[in-house]
Amino acid sequence: MADTEQEAKWRAEFKRVGRDAIHREFGMFDEPRRQFAFRWLREKEFEDEQRADSAHWYSKWTFIAAVAAVIVGVVGVLVTVF
């Protein structure tokens, strides 16, 4: 959904002031701006969730790669000793 000109201004303002300020001032907004702030905050929460999921996936596969490297190292040492 494309932003209207007013929503584009609000989006730029919200980005500039940050989420904490939007949460603090939320009750002082008029209804259309409050509804847009609701949507904007939810978008930011979704982006955070996506970022957390990516970080979790990356950490999991890094751990698996490290365990595999240890196993290969142990096998290499065992083959060398015997």
CB 41 within 8 A of CB 19: yes
**Domain boundaries along the sequence of the chain:** 5-81
pLDDT of residue 1 exceeding 70, the answer is: no
pLDDT digits (tens, 9 = 90+) for 4-63: 899 999 999 999 999 989 888 877 888 889 999 999 999 999 999 999 999 999 999 999
CB 14 within 8 A of CB 37: yes
Residue found under tokens 């989006």: 11
Q: What are the residues whose beta carbons fall under 8 Å from the beta carbon of 10, sequence distance 6 or more?
A: 33, 36, 37, 40
pLDDT recorded at residue 29: 87
Q: State the pTM of this model.
A: 0.70
What whole-number distance in Å separates Cα of residue 22 and Cα of residue 55?
26
What whole-number distance in Å separates Cα of residue 69 and Cα of residue 75?
10
